[in-house]
Amino acid sequence: MDYIKEKLITIGRPQAELVKKLQKEYGDKVIQEVTLDQVFSGMRGVVSLLTCTSKLDPEEGIRFRGYSIPELREKLPKLKEDGEPLPEGLFYLMLLGELPSHDDVKFLSQNWAERAKNIPPHVFNVIDSVPKSAHPMIQFNVAILAMSTESHFRRAFLAGLDKKEYWDPMYEGVMDLISRLPIIAAYIYRRVFHNEQYIDPDPSLDWAGNLAHMMGFDSEEVKRLMRLYMVIHADHEGGNVSAHTTHLVGSALSNPYYSFSAGMNGLAGPLHGMANQNVMHWLEKMMDELGTDSPTTEQVREFAKKTLDSGNVIPGYGHAVLRKTDPRFTVQLDFANKYIPDAPLIKLVKQVYEVVPEILVQTGKVKNPWPNVDAISGSLLSSYGITEYPVYTMLFGVSRALGVLTQLIWDRIYGLPIERPKSQTLDWFMEKVGFK
């Protein structure tokens, strides 16, 4: 057993006991009242999930095991003093609840590089059988499902493993899956956009650096950006579509591949992870229609208004929980201001930021007029040469695996049951509220 796994169960067992005790002794305590409006507006604010990896504050943004993004950039191990933290360190923090050392992070980089070596050939055959024109998220997802032939969890379940031990094969499957996603994503990227000129992994590199390398970007600058991208997209507490779906499907004791694949189908929706690609389409359409790469701020304002008037959302703006500018947006803007202050796309992102919040406020209905993570991530990637928009959501997905799959291990440590909320008919709701 590797030492991280040993540490995990040493921490996990008492936590699982605590959850059981809490439920047994306080199970009948009322924690919240739910209104009809909450049910009809997508369960906003209804507390119904136990998530340990991260927590989202509407004003302050995401905290991973208590640490904000600026704190993580300071405290998580980096390869170089002026670099970005390694996503391996964030995984360690989310899994074990404590900050890793440099050695812990090195162990994970090496462990994942080793596990990534054994992707079965049929996975690449499955990708190759899908047309290249299919969206990368389709190719990514069929590959994830095809990898489930390797599921430790399914094998252990069939062999009759005691359910208290389910966390163990789940951990193994999650580690395998996370280790392999960069190879899968880079394969799809090179297949679709670089004429199948594949690049072998370099096992001496870190997980995100290797992804950049296999995509064909070997500069330190792109590797640094990739590490940042992989850290900030990793988790956003438990109720967002990709996290909730992964957890829900996992609650049926589906293996990590099935569960994560389900989550990725949700990430592919335009209101969730696909927003990063749609922001780029929106900016491109603006430049096309205006016939210039550098529109005036007034032109940007008019274009944004036109988008709203035609009944469309402005991608990259708004959030179901956040009520301030997303710190994931701010950290990317800081990064851009530091390293590529003159990039034309970043200038455009800033112009949009200048005018869109005010326009959204004027609608009188948008609860959060501020930018989210997707308002800038594509422009940043594009400014560094990763210009192929359709891969942006897939890269988001590679990162999201870190959080949602860590939580899946914890779900099995806690021994959470199959999820099954209650639904009601319209008549029931009308009667309940006394509708006449």
Nearest to 90 by CA among 426, 403, 313: 403
State the nearest-atom distance from the C-beta of 240 to ligand FAM, in Å.
Answer: 6
- Specify whether 200 is catalytic: no
d(CA 259, CA 32) in angstroms, rounded, equals 29
Residue 370: CB atoms within 10 Å: 20
Site for ligand FAM, residues 268 to 297, rule: CB under 6 A: 271-273, 275
Any bridge partners for residue 67, and if so which? 64
State the nearest-atom distance from the C-beta of 315 to ligand FAM, in Å.
Answer: 5
DSSP state of 149: G
State the nearest-atom distance from the C-beta of 363 to ligand FAM, in Å.
Answer: 7
78 lines the binding site for ligand FAM (CB under 6 A): no
363: left (phi over 0), alpha (psi -120 to 50) or beta: alpha
d(CA 374, CA 298) in angstroms, rounded, equals 23
- Closest to ligand FAM by CB, 109 vs 399, is 399
Site for ligand FAM, residues 371 to 400, rule: CB under 6 A: 372-374
Residue 60: CB atoms within 10 Å: 13
- Specify whether 213 is catalytic: no
315 lines the binding site for ligand FAM (CB under 6 A): yes
CA dihedral of 243, 244, 250, 256, whole degrees rounded to 10: -20
Site for ligand FAM, residues 195 to 234, rule: CB under 6 A: none
CA dihedral of 71, 76, 81, 84, whole degrees rounded to 10: -80
309 lines the binding site for ligand FAM (CB under 6 A): no
Catalytic choice (135, 236, 244, 272): 272
DSSP state of 35: -
State the nearest-atom distance from the C-beta of 87 to ligand FAM, in Å.
Answer: 18
The helix/strand/coil state of 229 is: helix
- Specify whether 194 is catalytic: no
Which stretch, 2-10, 122-130, 330-338, 366-374, contacts ligand FAM (CB under 6 A)?
366-374
Helix then strand then coil, in percent of the chain rounded to 5, is 65, 5, 35
State the nearest-atom distance from the C-beta of 114 to ligand FAM, in Å.
Answer: 32
- Closest to ligand FAM by CB, 205 vs 366, is 366
Site for ligand FAM, residues 344 to 363, rule: CB under 6 A: 360
Size of the site for ligand FAM (CB under 6 A): 22
324 lines the binding site for ligand FAM (CB under 6 A): no
Of positions 115, 194, 350, 367, contacts ligand FAM by CB under 6 A: 367
319 lines the binding site for ligand FAM (CB under 6 A): yes
Active site residues: 272, 319, 374
